Copies of this chain bind each other. A is one copy, B any other.
Amino acid sequence: VTERAASDRQSDKSEGRERSDGLLTTGDMARLTGNTLRTVRFYEEAGILRPDRRSAGGHRLFSQRERERLQFISDMRTAGLSLDEIRVLLDVKVKAENGEQAAKAALAALDRRITDLEDRIAALSRLKGELCGAREVLRDCKSCRNEVCFPDSCDDCDVMLGRVDVPQSVRVLWAVDRRGRSE
């Protein structure tokens, strides 16, 4: 009976011995790229990863090249691409007739991804700004001594009223709670 079932998680527990033939097991792939076994297998099923061969007992064996491919996939995932979009990128060279075509297509795809990234970075930066603003305001709240008015009268507190620009996030976080009645 399996008591606690290992849970497939792959932490970076230093160096496990290397194979003589230079091939990588599913676990190696997972560890080296920060994924789980499940993810590696899922990517194979999805058709964007493929083991070089299988061992006699059916264990997957990957080439180093496939490891780089997995790393690329992971990077693109964290960049927010779907597996479909990644597939397109990976197929650019295969589907192109000649070198110029391939390079053109790849450049176009890359450009789209880059401006896309820029947009997302900008969005996140704006958000960070908002949250930092919120932090500023709440710092003053921490030293607020008007204990009497706490939950319900914060809106009328001098800490808020003194501000010219109370960020939306503070307005929401610090809103008076009129919910939960009438139930």
Contacts and interface: CB of A to CB of B under 8 A. Distances in A.
Given A110-B131, A174-B93, A179-B50, A72 B169 contact: yes
A114 B127 CA distance: 9
Contacts of A75: 127, 130, 169
**Number of copies of this kind of chain in the complex:** 2
Nearest to A127: B79
Question: Which of A92, A175, A178 has the most chain B CB within a 10 Å cutoff?
Answer: A175
Contact of A168 (B72, B94, B144): B72
A160 interface: no
Contact of A134 (B110, B128, B139, B146): B110
A89 interface: yes
Interface residues of A, number: 60
A17 interface: no
A98 interface: yes
Given A128-B121, A131-B110, A173-B93, A104 B142 contact: yes
Interface of A: 50, 65, 68-69, 71-72, 75, 78-79, 89-90, 92-94, 98-100, 102-104, 106-107, 110-111, 113-114, 117-118, 120-121, 123-125, 127-128, 130-132, 134-135, 138-139, 141-142, 144, 146-147, 150-151, 154, 168-169, 171-175, 177-179
6 contacts: A68-B171, A104-B142, A110-B131, A110-B134, A110-B138, A121-B121
